[in-house]
Every structure is written in C-alpha cells, then in structure tokens.
Amino acid sequence: MDSTAPRIEHKNTTCYMCACRCGIRVTLRDGEIRYIQGNPEHPLNHGVICAKGASGIMKQYSPARLTRPLLRKPGAERGAGEFTEISWDEAYSLLEERLRRIRASDPKKFALFTGRDQMQALTGLFARQFGTPNYAAHGGFCSVNMAAGMIYTIGGSFWEFGGPDLDRARLFVMIGTAEDHHSNPLKIAISRFKRNGGRFISINPVRTGYSAIADEWVPIRPGTDGALLLALTHEIIRQGLFDREFLIRYTNGPELVVQDEGSERFGLFVRSDKPVDEGCFDPQNKLWWDRITDRPVDSHAEDADPFLLGAFTLPDGTPVKTAFQLLADRVKDYTPEWAAGITGIPAATIRRLAHEMGITARDQKIELPIAWTDTWGRDHETVTGNPVAFHAMRGLAAHSNGFQTIRALSILMSVLGTIDRPGGFRHKAPFPRPIPPCAKTPRGPEGVRPDTPLGGMPLGWPAGPEDLFVDADGRPVRIDKAFSWEYPLAVHGLMHNVITNAWRGDPYPIDTLMIFMSNMAWNSTMNTVEVRRMLNDRNEDGEYKIPFIVVSDAFQSEMVAYADLVLPDTTYLERHDVMSMLDRPISEFEGPVDAVRVPVLPPTGQCRPFQEVLIELAGRLGLPAFVNPDGSRKYRDYPDFIVRYETEPGSGIGFLAGWRGAGGEKFMKGEPNPNQWEMYARNNCVFQYHLPPSYQYMRNWNQGYLEWAQRHRLTRYAEPILLHLYSEVLQKFRLAAEGRGGARRPPEHLRERIATFFDPLPFFYEPLEAQRIDRARFPLNAVTQRPMAMYHAWDSQNAWLRQIHAHNHLYVHPGTARAAGVEDGGWVWIESPWGRVRAQCRYSEAVEPGTVWTWNAIGKAPGAWRLSPEANEARRGFLLNHLITEELPAEAEGVRVSNSDPVTGQAGWYDVRVNIRPAAADEPHTSAPEFAPVPPAPGTAAAPPRRLAYRAGAGLFKKLFG
Amino acid sequence: MTQLALIIDLNVCVGCSACVTSCKEWNTSGSAGPLVDLNPYGADPSGTFFNRVQTFEIGSYPNTQTVHFPKSCLHCEEPPCVPVCPTGASYKRPEDGIVLVDYDKCIGCKYCSWACPYGVRELDEDRRVMTKCTLCVDRIYDETLPAAERKPACVLACPTNARLFGDVHDPESEVSHLIREQGGYTLMPEWGTRPANHYLPPRRTTHRIQPDQLVRADNPLKKERQLPMPALDEPALDDVTSW
Amino acid sequence: MHPAFSVIFLTTLIGAGQGLFLALYTSELYAALGLLPAQDDPVYFGIGALLALVLLAGGLLASFFHLGHPERAWRSAARWRTSWLSREVIALPAFMGAVTVYGALHFFGWNPVIAVLGGGTAFHLTAAVGAVGVVLCLTLFLCTGMIYACLRFLQEWASPLTVINFLLLGTASGFTLATAFAAWTGRGLTRFFGGWALILLALAFLARVSSLIRNARLRHKSTLQSAIGVRHSRIRQISQGAMGGSFNTREFFHGRPARLVTTAQWVFLLLVFAVPAALLGVGLTRGGAGWLAAAFLVQYAGLVVERWVFFAQAQHPQNLYYQAA
Ligand SMILES: Nc1nc2c(c(=O)[nH]1)N[C@H]1C(S)=C(S)[C@@H](COP(=O)(O)OP(=O)(O)OC[C@H]3O[C@@H](n4cnc5c(=O)[nH]c(N)nc54)[C@H](O)[C@@H]3O)O[C@H]1N2
Ligand SMILES: Nc1nc2c(c(=O)[nH]1)N[C@H]1C(S)=C(S)[C@@H](COP(=O)(O)OP(=O)(O)OC[C@H]3O[C@@H](n4cnc5c(=O)[nH]c(N)nc54)[C@H](O)[C@@H]3O)O[C@H]1N2
Ligand code: SF4
Ligand code: SF4
Ligand code: SF4
Ligand code: SF4
Ligand code: SF4
Ligand SMILES: [Mo]
C-alpha cells in the first residue's frame, strides 16, 4: 500500500452532543475526524444524525477545551478565572486529603451534584458509598415533574422511560415540547406518522420546531394546561368517551375510597382483610362494587362486574365512592367554558379536541393478534390499542403546578385507555415500575454517619410521610431539602437550590461542593447574578461561605471560573461510558437496550475521564464498594469497574446488561464477562433485547412480562401495576397535614401547603409565582425553548453551530409589542419582579400574545467558552435566567421556599412573569446585565483561530494545543 | 438523460439543520473543501455552507404557519449561472445534470453568483473560489462506500427523511412519483431556470367529527346508569293515549 | 447589490477612456470631412490616446481587484460564446490595442493616406484604425452593459437602457474630458467637444432618468411567494439560518439605509449632469481650462456615485431569502 495514502479508520460509538445518545460512526483520516455519521445499524437513530451530532468535530477540537488540572490562583477572587496548572497527583492528594477529613467527621459536608450527565448510577454510587445524602443530578431543575407526575400515576414516564407509539397512533397530541426533545427518535417517528396520514396537534404557546409541521396548532397561555387537561377529561367523561373496560380492569378507578369525613382513613382505599404479601407494591386487597350482586367484592374478583361510577355505603355504614366517581366529581365544574377563560383556548376548540380524542380512541381501535395473559390469569386473544398518543415535556413540567398538571395528563391518557397499548403510550425497560418505585432514602439523620455508606439511596420514591428524609422535628437532612416537608416527592433533588442553601447555611453549611458537568454559574441557575455573588461570598472570618468548589468540566464554561479546583474531563469521543440499565438506558418499546461509548480518539492533553477520577478517589478513600476486603483498590480503571462491579457480590447485575456470563452468553443478569467491552464494540456499541410480542404490551398487568422482568431482575415483584387515577400516596401526606394517620406531621408552617397541594386528584391552581406578584405590573409570561441546533450552553463554542444561533432575540407578538411601544428589531428592557435584562426584540406571529419567549442558554458571559469578549453571544445574546428567582418571597416571617413545585421541587422556570418597555434611544445596543470578561484558562487553546478551514488529517487542530 | 436532484418535503421538515452541518462536515474534508469559517470564535461568525435552513412565518396569529425551508443549489436544468461564467469553471455535467464548479479554473469573479436567482452559491473567502452544493458527487459514486450510503450527506443525515435523492428524469423513480403525486414544485418558476430540485408542499390532515359519532348505543355511561333518564312519575304518552 | 469598488472604477474609468477615444476620433472624422480644420498635431492625438489608454488600463487594473484569483484572469476569455463577461475580457484588451495603434500612428506620424474618396476627401490610415477602434469601443460598451443587462432577474439592469446608459455616460464623460484636454492643449477644439459634451450629457440625462423612472416603477416578478412556493399574502422571514451573515448577505446587500441611496441618486444627478453642464457652460463662454477640468473631475466623481447607485438600487431576487437574521 502507498505509505502516503491517508490512513482511514471507522469506529462506532455513541453520540453525546445531547442526551439522546444516538449511535454514531466516526471516520478518521490520519487520526483526525473526517466525518461523523449516524450508525445505520443503531436502534435509536437508524443512521440519521442531527445538527449537533454532525458538528462533533468542532466540539472535539474546540479551543475552549480544558486540558490541565487547574487550581485557583492564590489571592484571586472566585469568578475572576485566574488559575495555575497543577498535576493530577497534586489534584488527587488535595481531594483525597479533604474528602477523607470530611468523611471521617460529617460526610454530608461533601455535596456532589451533576448536570446533564448519563452516569448517575456511578456518581450516585460514589455519593452513597461516601456516605453523603447530598447528591443529585439535573432532574430537579429539568423535568422531575414529568417523571414524578407520571410514575406516581402510571408507573412510567416520557423520554427515556416511555413514549408515544407513533407507528400505530392515529392522533398525536404534543404538549409543551419544543423542538428537540427526544431528538432524533421523535423526529423519525413524527415524520413517519405524518406520512402515514396521522393527525398531529401541538399545544404550545409558541409554534416552532415540531409544532411547525403540526396539522393544528393550539396556542395556550403558559401554566394553564392543567385547566385544559381537566376540561378535556370533563368532556370525555360527560360524553361517555372513556374506555370503561380498560378503566375497570387496569386502573384503580372502580376501587372504593372511604368517604367518611371524620375517619382516620378518609380518602384511603377500603382494604379487605384478604391476606397480602408485603413489599414495595400496591397490594391488591381493595374493593369493587359489583353491579350484579350490588355488593362490595374483592377487586378483580373472577366473576365480578363492578361499577366504575357511584357512591355506596359499605355494610358497616362507611360511605364510599369509586375513585373514578371522585374523579368525575372533581372534573364536574372544570367545564370547557371555565378552561377557556384560563387557557385562552375557545371552549368549542376544547370540546372538539375532547371529541376527537375520544372518538379516535374508541372508533379506530387496533386489534393486534397477539395473545397474552394478565396478572389475574385471564387470557386475551388480542392486544387492543386506542390510537391516541401524547407527548409532553417541560412546557408542563417547568411550572410550579406541573406535578398536578402532569397527573391530569396521565389520567387523561388512562381514561382514553392508551397506556402501554399500541398507538398510545408505551413503556421502555426497566419501566413500568411499581407505584411508587422501591428505592428509598434513609428516613432520618441516622442514615448519615462518619466513614459509613449512606443508610439508603441518596434519592428515592417516598410512598408516604414515613419515607421522608427528615429529622425528628421534621427538618430536612439534605442540603437541597429534598424529601422534606417542603418538597416531599423531590425524587430528583433540587439542584437549583444547592448553592443558595449552602451559602446561607440553611439547613447547614457544607465544606466541599463538587459539580460535574453542570454550568451552575450560568444557565442552570435561577437568579444568576446573585448566585454568582454567593459563590464568591465570604464569612466574616474571610473564609468562603462555600469553602471549596471542585468543577469537572471539559470546557471553559462560566462555572469553571468559580472553581477552586478544575478537573479537565475528556470528550465523549475520548472515553468509555455506559448508558446503563441502572440509570437511564436507551431502551425501546420492544425491550431493554443499553449502550456504551468507546474512545475513538486519545485524550487531549492531560484530560482524564471523570469516571476514572471517581474510581481513583473511591479507591484512595477506601469506599467499601471500590476496595477489596484488605482495603486495596479493587478496580484497575473504569472499564474494569464496569465489567466487574455487581450491585451485590454475586448478584449478576451490573452496569451493562448485554453479553454477561463468562462467555457473554447471558443478558440482563449473569457473571461478569471480561470481554464485555469488546462484545459491545463489535455490536455497534449497543445491546438490544427484543421481548416476545406477547410481552411488549400491557406490561403493567402482563403476567408474562412481569415474570420475565422479575426473573431478569428488572423488578423485584411481579405484581400488577394499576394506574393511580386516585393517588393514595398523596392522600397520606394530606392526612398527615390534617393530623390524621401515621405518626409524622408536617411542621406547622407547612401544614396548609401540604394539605393544599397533596390532593389525591388533579386540580388546577395558578403557578405559585403568579399568585404572589402584581400581575398587572407583570402581564406577560416569559418562557424559553431549546433550539434544535444547540445543546444548552455547550454548543456556543462550536464554530458551526454558533453560526446558526449566534445570539438570541425576545420574540413578541406584534400587537403586544406595539402596545408596549416596542419596534421590530428594537432593544427592550424585560423586567420581572426579580431583575431586568436588556435584549433585542423581534416580532413574531407564532406566539400567543400574552407570552414572550427566547432561545435557551444562547447568551454567554464574556470570555467564557474561549469566545472573544466581542462575540455575539456576549454582546447581543442574553439569558432569561437573570429574571427568574430561585426562591419565592416569604409568605410568612422567615419562611422561604424554593421557586418550585410544592410536591416535587421541580424548578418553576416557566412561571416567570415580565413586562417589556423600549430601551432609551441613547442606550447601547448590547444586552444587559454585562459581566467582566474572564481571561483564557491555562491549558485552553493558545489563540483561537480567526479563520478556520478544517480539513481532516491536515493537523490544523494539533496546533491549537501544541 | 439523467438529472439527479434533491426533493425536499416541507410537510415533514422540522428545521433541525442536520442537513446544514452534515453537509459542512462532509464537504469540508471532501473534494469540495475545506470550507472556511471566518471569525469562528468572535463577533459575527460566518462561513461557507452549501445548504442553509431558513424559517418563515405565514399568516397571522392565531392562524400562523411556521415553515422551515432548506435551500441549496437547485441544479437547474437551464442554469443561468453556467453560461455567464467566463472561464467555464461553472458547468453542468451532461451525464447526471449536476452543476459544479471547477476550482482550478475559477477566478473568483462571483459573476455566476449574480446570475443565480436563488442565492445558493457562496464564495469561499479563504480559497477565493466559488463554491456550492455538489450533490455530494464525491459520495454518490464512491464505490468504497456501501451502496446504501452512496447518497448525499444531508440526505443520510435528515432525521425526518425530508430530503430525498434521485433522478427526476426517470418517470419511475421515487422522486418523480412524489413530485407527481404530491404537487412537487420548483422555486421562482418565472425565470425558466427549471430547477431540478423540487419541494413538496406542507399537507394538513384534518378530522371531521360527525355529530352522530357522539351518540352511541354502547355509551359506557349507560352501563353506569349515568345517562339522564326521566323519573318514572314524569308524564308520558302512556298516561294520555286513550284508545 | 453590494457596490464593488473594483467594478465601479472599472466601468467608469473605461467608460471615460472609451468616450475620450470616441471624441478624438470624432474630431479626426470631422476634420477629414472638412467640417473642422485639419487636425494634424501628433502630440494632441498621441497624448489623447495615451490618456484614454491610461483610463482603460486603470479600469483593467481595478477589475483585477474584483477577482479572487487574478493570476488566472487569462482563463476568463474562454467562454466568449456564452459569457458577456468573457467577451468583455476580450473586447477590452482588443480595444486597448486599437487605441495604442491609433495613438502610435498619430504620434509617430505613420499616417499615410490609404484612400481618397470622391470629393477629394483623403482617408488616412488612422481613420481606418480608428474605425476599427470605434467598432471595438462600441462592442466593449455593449459587452460591459450586457454583463448587467443580461441578468434577466436583476430587473433594474435587465433593460436596453443599461447598455445605452453605459454608452452615453461613458461617451459624455469622455467628451467632457476631451473638452478640458483640448482647452489644456490649447487646441481650437474646445467648443467642438464642449458642444458635443453638452449634447451627449443631455441625451445621457434623458436615458439615465428614464432608467431611474423605470426602476422606480418596476414590479418585481419574484416575490416571497414565488421564492418559497407558498401562496399567502402574509409571509415573513424569521431566520435565514446564519446570524453572523454570509456571502449572500455581504454580496447582495449594500447595507446602507434606503435614504442614503435616494440621496446618492440626487447627488449623482447633480454631479454628473447639472454641475458639469454649468461648469462646461462657464468654461466654454469664459474660457479657461480650469473650469473644464473641474467639469470632468466633478462629473467623474458623480459617475462613481452613479455607478454606486446603479448597484445599490438593483434588487437581487436572492435577497428574498435573506431578509431577517
Ligand atoms: N437541541 C437540544 N435538545 C435538547 C436539549 C437542548 O438543550 N438542546 N435539552 C434536553 C433537555 S435537558 C431537556 S430537559 C429537553 C427539554 O425538551 P422540551 O421540553 O421540549 O424543552 P423546552 O425547550 O424547555 O420546551 C418547552 C416547550 O414548552 C412550551 N411551553 C412553555 N410553557 C408552556 C405551558 O405552560 N404550556 C405548554 N403547553 N407549553 C409550554 C415552550 O414554548 C416550549 O416549546 O430537551 C432535551 N433536548
Ligand atoms: N432559563 C432556563 N434555564 C434553564 C432551562 C430552561 O428551560 N430555561 N432548562 C434547564 C434544564 S432542563 C437543564 S437540563 C439545565 C441544563 O443546564 P446544565 O446542566 O448546566 O447544562 P449545560 O449548560 O449544558 O452545562 C453542562 C456543563 O457540562 C460541560 N460538559 C460538556 N461535556 C462535558 C463532558 O464530557 N464532561 C464534563 N465533565 N463536562 C462536560 C459543559 O461544558 C457545561 O459546562 O438548564 C436548565 N436551565
Ligand atoms: S440527537 Fe443529535 S446530538 Fe443528540 S445524541 Fe443524537 S445525534 Fe447526538
Ligand atoms: S435535516 Fe431534514 S428536517 Fe432537518 S432541516 Fe434539513 S431537511 Fe429539514
Ligand atoms: S440554483 Fe443557482 S447555482 Fe444552482 S444551478 Fe440554479 S442557478 Fe445555478
Ligand atoms: S466565480 Fe468562478 S465559477 Fe463563478 S463565474 Fe467566476 S469564474 Fe465562473
Ligand atoms: S447534496 Fe451534498 S453538497 Fe449538496 S447540500 Fe446536500 S450534503 Fe451539501
Ligand atoms: Mo433538562
């Protein structure tokens, strides 16, 4: 062969330009990336790629790459971005010494929070082994409402956990989803759906992205979807368009609820004395009211034909109602006319939508010739589908009423009979899970002890007040106050309050805050200006309020400037990673799927994968799961850990589900396989298991599936997972607030809050922020959307993507803008009760007149990301976050609460209300607030090129880092 | 005679720009590259791209449609950009109708770009020659690629399959079928340039509900005894008929 | 369009050069026909032709700045069959050759009589070479004009008026220059050229104003509707896919407020027509090369503005796709 011919290599791995995790094929020419394409053999993306994925080259070779461990310069302020280079040895000893001291005294003084990462199984394990409860990932500020609202109702959720079956749906309703959520898979599916003649309705205050190709756009006022969904349910029940059979067999709708106002058991299900197994599931000892015998019977009794609706009196005189009756009572007054006034959607439209949903579900039924058996032993010849599918995301989640709104959505989906059925919502393994899932945190401070792993999971799923993580006085144990009475079901933590709480020392001060892959000094903060100040604030003694901050990042983000110690991470093309069943795998409707990343390029400079850092630290600190009985380090490195780690010795369950067993002959469960990585690498870096068709549907109640899942240790129990139209879990909290049931009681100041928001049936309330501010002064809702070609803050360093979104505008309906005296292209002040921002306005006819919006995370701090301080992102881009508060004003003296959903602690990003007015003629045409530029961090590129003509193999980028 | 072309289905294009960056990525290290980026990390970054996605709003609120509109060279059958080129650098290949620029001949006079009504040619400011979509000639005939991948980069990338590639002169090709059946159209037909690339219009599926679909014998409310029934003692015809 | 200074100078300089040559040749023809006294001053023709040549060469030089690869400029003669630009590339040097020969013949006095027409009119070699020059000169005007006029969808340009304007404006400026030149060299031709200059200026004025009126009334065939193929009366662009701009926003937009273009239009009407006409009037009646030289300089400055407006006013249909970042 000609020795001058370019050396071409092809390598498969998994993309991480966003959380979607498509399979990619990287072509290298002379060791530089020639091309990144979608892997045609990958089950997620079938060969397609997106704008971000196809720009991976410009991320890999970004001048903002951190390549050396850095220590804040002695004497330099946090935020000034002045660093000196240190060696990894120094960095490790520094951390080891500090963490050892914390662990031996009070492990909760170490807090580990991680952003959009996909290795929560490992970071969580590390935190737990360390013994700190102060661990969470991004979920709390992302979409925990979606996860919790749906999992507490149907045992699964959208995104990684389940989704719309658009191959078979006839009607698709997308609510509050922008344009890149579940990126490629959803795009593939929507396009196929449209081409198959399906009807696509988008409910969103803004029409861009996916909504652009919707057959109908239903603009809605932000924060009001709860009203719409309840009115739709009202109309569907009123017209009898619900799927009675489905509701009876598969939901708790026909089950009888105690209605005796004075009883300790008020609002709980009537339980028979039928003996039940104990465990984390919903025992089947509840009652129906039989139509034939007109008597209560055990639910799911063989020949019973229960009422779905009705109020009855038990033989002992207890008044009862079916749960569905309670739901019907609840939605009785939620008429379309009522909702029209709140949502801005005409009543006739709401009615028509309800009819369309109901009639499509009823009249376009799908019967698949797939026989299956339910958990009560009934055989079914076919699988039925009601082909109405929904998808929703943060437009519902990111409001402080989101949890109840999402409960309402899950219930609407259930009422239409569309759960885990063809053409409706379908689960992805390891879902469905019991309601609520089994994992639990410790129940009190005794779970946190020096030199001891945490006495439970750092994050869990409370089934009632007894599962809260609070001390004897009901005070939070976690720094973010998750699982306290303030946010009892904060199942993903409240990362957005960590800095504020730690700064204030409420509930206690911490020592070391380690942030991995999150830009907590910028786009994932609320109240950004203040939070940046808090990060740099000191006590009287001159010590920082947050004494030590460690940041693992791959790029010079805004957060890096606030670090005391910076750990340079590798990029996704340089490291091993797993998309694990223990975490958020990439499963498909047809069965479990997990995936890996393998390095296609060597690490740049001194970069080390953060995983290796954790394994190294865990070994040094002697965390039990990471050391041998003799205390010696157990795992050579991360790949070795992934192969050999088992959740319990001999459990056969590890991070990867594929090719387990000594020779790779097993899956899901089996002994470690030393060649597992190679087997993944040979198989497109993905393991997919196809369930037999009879296990692919109705999984909440599918005996075959549940037993399969149990045998393969996806679940502990094979009990049916009835849909919780009525949530007993919530009622238990409410009873506690009312001083009934159980032992734990909320502190006085939170009683009313718990009693109000822990309603076992969905209800509509105005977002909390709007309830507390002067709505006349702040008449507009301000929201953000993610653009398809940008991932949060990461991509502004990407020379190609930033040309598409160099800066952002505030989009305003022309009528609204004119009324405020604002011109198209004019500069405006956007003011909220919490701050103000100057930005450039653009008219748009595709936005609801009471809403203004902008792209998320385009604005940048000057100098960050190695952009020149003159870059559009810094001069003309702006961050809406400056207008959003992380805490709501005190209701009562000294009572602050997070600007979050009172049930889950989900950040209420989209609750913010603003006004706009033109900037004065003599003001500069630049965005405000402005920040001082940060200098280039040592180890980033010496000088970003002013002209870039990339050609693989030309060695252009080698020059960048010498 | 073959005329290769792209068909862009606006009915499913979500405006994701995958076709934009995958094009850049393929071509910058391919035979048409490198494609320069100016000020890539500074103010007003710009660069050479062969394909861009634009967005238009049509109508007024609330009857607004948002249309995403990808545009690259349309490989006109009567390309006005070709005859004006003084050097012959711009040419249309007789064998497959692809319009190309020979970089070794191009003097960078920009005249061809003036002669293109569609704004799809871009002078690369580094190499100072005219560039444009090549229909990925260096992919589609590359025998070293698997047959399924001998397609333009943007076509393979597009997540919604809104970009289709084929011979618009072959009446039996998939693209010709689509043009015929779904009202494929060309841009600015008024100039007689006869673009080979076609666009398929957005289509809207509507659903009409007949009133009788709401009245059904099997209404579950009936089973629940919830449908309104008159009380037994209300007057009825039974009470008055007297024969 | 974005007015490119290379092209502005190319067209105005060669226009003046061409006009000057035409003036020289006119005077020779008139003299040959006996309508003017014999013009046998070799220096007058030689220097005149040299001046024309300098202008032409200046234009040519300017044009190189337009090219990405001037070193390959030679390639641009290749497509004369189809490309007006290619034709111009041939016509310009050919014409320059003719001017050179014409000037040299005069200067060195190699000017035998080659024919005697009926009536005793002697026909010199220079008259023949000059005639070839005129043909090339007119061809060059045609080529230059057609480069613009042939772009059908650039409707402001796609009109015979474009060629006529190039011709008349170039010729008028050449005659104005010739007037000043004649005054400077102290020849008796000042009034002859001055008269013609005024006549040509009047014609050019009519033609240029016609094109302004035409352009003001123009209805563009391409619309946003035809550009994206959507039939609706309200279409607005929201994004063009490149916020920092692109070749398409740099090359086809002048990026100046519309007011500036209108102002520039009035400025060039004054500088090209009114002021030079007045200066010519003063210069011709009072005498004095200074006024006449001023007339030419002002007019040339005006022509630069005129050419700027010529570009700035042209609405390229591609701009329909690039209306909003
Ligand atoms: N390209 C790209 N893709 C991404 C990301 C990214 O940064 N870039 N981020 C990923 C992450 S972390 C997440 S969490 C997901 C989020 O995915 P999405 O949930 O789609 O994210 P957002 O962009 O927040 O879009 C929220 C949408 O809700 C609408 N909206 C706001 N308020 C309301 C309301 O009250 N009611 C209704 N009906 N709609 C409302 C907004 O107009 C917007 O369209 O995207 C993921 N995918
Ligand atoms: N106004 C407003 N704010 C929002 C939202 C909103 O809708 N509106 N959405 C919220 C949501 S849902 C989310 S998920 C958050 C996201 O917010 P963040 O989690 O802060 O996400 P990013 O901005 O992407 O920051 C991730 C950090 O990881 C770094 N990084 C990238 N790749 C790697 C890597 O391989 N290794 C390491 N160690 N670091 C890496 C990046 O450089 C960056 O600093 O934003 C939230 N903020
Ligand atoms: S959607 Fe795009 S960025 Fe996200 S993983 Fe897939 S290819 Fe990568
Ligand atoms: S890749 Fe496809 S869907 Fe995305 S913008 Fe291009 S044509 Fe549209
Ligand atoms: S689109 Fe423009 S560049 Fe492409 S062939 Fe047609 S005229 Fe030429
Ligand atoms: S720029 Fe190049 S391709 Fe275009 S007309 Fe000039 S020589 Fe021809
Ligand atoms: S065909 Fe090739 S060159 Fe043309 S737009 Fe698509 S990717 Fe770019
Ligand atoms: Mo998120």
Domains, chain C: 5-229+244-320 (1.20.1630)
In sequence order, the 6+-apart residues with CB closer than 8 A to the CB of C61 are none
Both structure tokens of A240: 């009898």
Contact in structure between A372 and A694 (CB atoms under 8 Å): yes
Residue from A800, A802, A842, A853 to probe the interface with C (highest C Cβ count within 10 Å) = A842
Give the C-alpha separation, A300 to A285, whole Å: 10
Percent of chain A past pLDDT 90, that is, above it, reads 93
Structure tokens at A569: 């991470």
Distance to chain C for A805, nearest Cα, Å: 6
Q: Which one of the ligands is nearest to A183 CA? A: 3
Strands A827-832 vs A913-918: parallel, antiparallel or unpaired: antiparallel
Ligand 5 atom closest to residue B80's alpha carbon, by position in its atom list: 7
Tell whether the model's pLDDT for residue A822 goes beyond 80. Answer: yes
Side-chain-side CA neighbours of A916 within 13 Å: the count stands at 31
pLDDT for res A742: 81
Please give, one letter per residue, the 3-state secondary structure of A300-360: CCCCCCECCCCEEECCCCCEEEEHHHHHHHHHHCCCHHHHHHHHCCCHHHHHHHHHHHHHH
First to last CA, chain A: 31
**What long-range pairs does B200-205 form, CB within 8 A, spacing at least 24?**
B200/B7, B200/B8, B200/B9, B200/B10, B200/B11, B201/B10, B201/B11, B201/C229, B201/C230, B202/A213, B202/B10, B202/B11, B202/B65, B202/B67, B203/A194, B203/B11, B204/A215, B204/A216, B205/A194, B205/A197, B205/A198, B205/A199, B205/A200, B205/A215
Distance CA A37, CA A43 (A): 14
> Residue A691: what are its φ and ψ, rounded to 5°?
-70, 150
Residue C32 confidence (pLDDT):
84
According to DSSP, the residues that pair with A486 across neighbouring strands are none
With an 8 Å Cβ cutoff, are C243 and A803 in contact?
yes
- The chain C residue lying nearest B203, using CA atoms, is C230
Please state, for a pLDDT cut of 70, what percent of chain A lies above it: 99
Q: pLDDT, tens digit, for every residue of B155-186?
A: 999 999 999 999 999 999 999 999 999 999 99
Q: What does the radius of gyration of chain A's CA atoms come to, in whole angstroms?
A: 27
- A212, A291, A866 member nearest B41 (Cβ): A866
In this predicted structure, what is the pLDDT of residue C40? 73
Q: Where are the alpha helices (DSSP H) in A512-590?
A: 528-535
Helix (H) or strand (E) holding A836: strand A835-843
Euclidean distance between CA atoms A262 and A319, whole angstroms:
11
Residues C27-64 as b/e (b if ≥16 CB within 10 A, e otherwise) read bbbbbbeeebeebeebebbbbbbbbbbebbebbbebbe
Nearest to A34 among B29, B46, B148 (CB): B29
Distance from the CA of B230 to the center of ligand 3, in angstroms? Answer: 61
**Distance separating alpha carbons of residues B186 and A481, to the nearest angstrom:** 60
ipTM: 0.95
d(CA A333, CA A313): 25
| Cβ atoms of residues A690 and A590 within 8 Å | yes
Query: Measured between CB atoms, which of C234, C241, C243 is closest to A807?
Result: C243
Q: What is the pLDDT of residue B218?
A: 85
What does the angle CA A270 – CA A276 – CA A279 come to, to the nearest 5 degrees?
Answer: 105
Q: Indicate the angle between helix axes C42-64 and C5-32, nearest 10 degrees.
A: 160
Give the single-character DSSP code of A594: E
In the 3-class helix/strand/coil scheme, how is A752-782 assigned residue by residue?
HHHHHHCCCCCCCCCCHHHHHCCCCCCCEEE
- Give the whole-angstrom CA distance, residue A257 versus residue A267: 6
Rounded Cα distance between C106 and C125, Å, is 9
Calpha distance A427→A433 (Å, rounded): 10
Q: Which ligand is nearest to the CA of A186?
A: 3
Minimum mean pLDDT among A65-79, A688-702, B225-239: which range? B225-239
Ligand 4 mutation target, pool B6, B13, B50, most atoms within 8 A of CB: B13
Read off the amino acid at residue C321. Y
Tell me if A23 sits within 8 A of A686, measured CB to CB: yes
The answer to whether the beta carbons of residues A599 and A574 sit under 8 Å apart is yes
Instruction: Tell me: pLDDT of B243 over 70.
Output: no
List, for chain C, all residue ranges whose pLDDT scores fall below the cut of 70: none
pLDDT value for A563: 98
Backbone angles phi, psi at B63, to 5 degrees: -90, 50
Amino acid found at A594: D
Cβ-defined contact of A799 to B67 (cutoff 8 Å):
no
Give the three-state DSSP class for A576.
Answer: coil
Cα–Cα separations (whole angstroms), residue A830 to A330, A525, B19: 39, 18, 35
* pLDDT at residue B231 greater than cutoff 80: no
Spacing, Cα B118 to ligand 5 middle (Å): 7
Tokens of A898: 């997070």
Task: Using pLDDT thresholds of 50, 70 and 90, give the confidence band for residue A807.
Answer: very high
pLDDT tens-digit profile of A401-418? 999 999 999 999 999 999
CB contact under 8 A, C227 and B60: no
Q: What pLDDT sits at residue A1?
A: 47
Angstrom distances, CA of residue C249 to CA of A919, B27, B119, C255: 27, 22, 9, 9
Q: Which of C148, C138, C144 is nearest to C11 (CA)?
A: C144
Yes or no: is domain B4-200 CATH 3.30.70.20? yes
- Rounded to a whole number of angstroms, the distance from the CA of C210 to the nearest CA of chain B is 24
Q: How confident is the model at residue A962 (pLDDT cuts 50, 70, 90)?
A: low
Residue A210 has pLDDT above 90, yes or no: yes
What pLDDT score was predicted for residue B240? Answer: 74
Question: Per residue in A330-367, pLDDT tens?
Answer: 999 999 999 999 999 999 999 999 999 999 999 999 99
Closest CA to A793 of A8, A62, A57: A62
Q: How far is CA B192 from CA A24, B72, B80, C226, C255, in A?
A: 42, 18, 9, 12, 30
Percent of chain B with pLDDT over 70: 98
Q: How far apart are the CA of B56 and the nearest CA of chain A, in angstroms?
A: 10
The tens digit of pLDDT for each residue in B54-74 reads 999 999 999 999 999 999 999
Cβ contact, residue pair C243, A844, below 8 Å = no
User: E-strand spans in C89-204?
Assistant: 113-116, 122-124
Nearest CA to ligand 1 atom 47: A181
Which residue, by CA, sits nearest to atom 2 of ligand 5? B116
Q: Does the CA dihedral C227-C230-C234-C237 come out positive or negative?
A: negative
If you measure CA to CA, which chain B residue comes closest to C84?
B84
CB contact under 8 A, C238 and A806: no
pLDDT at A192: 97
Residue B225 in contact with residue C267, Cβ under 8 Å?
no
User: Ligand 5: distance of its center to the CA of B80 in Å?
Assistant: 7
Residue A65, helix vs strand vs coil? strand
State the pLDDT confidence band at A3, using cuts at 50, 70 and 90. Answer: low
Q: How far apart are CA A48 and CA A586, in angstroms?
A: 16
Flag whether pLDDT at A887 surpasses 80: yes
Question: Cα torsion for A732, A738, A741, A747, to the nearest 10°?
Answer: 90
Residues within 6 Å of ligand 4 by CB:
B 8, 13-19, 53, 68, 70, 157-158, 160, 162-163
Give the dihedral of Cα atoms A66, A67, A73, A78; nearest 10 deg.
20
Contact A32, A959 (CB under 8 A): no
A186 ligand 3 Cβ < 6 A:
no
Enumerate the residues of chain B whose CB falls inside 8 A of the CB of residue C82. 82-84
Average pLDDT, chain A: 95
Cα(B72) to centroid of ligand 5, in Å? Answer: 9
Q: What is the pTM of this model?
A: 0.96
Does A2 score more than 60 pLDDT? no
Q: pLDDT class for B242, splitting at 50, 70, 90?
A: low
Burial class (CB in 10 A: 0-12, 13-18, 19+), A942: exposed
Residue B66 and residue C242: Cβ atoms within 8 Å?
no
- Burial label for C259, CB within 10 Å (0-12, 13-18, 19+), is exposed
Please name the residue of chain A whose CA is at the shortest distance from the CA of residue B209.
A356
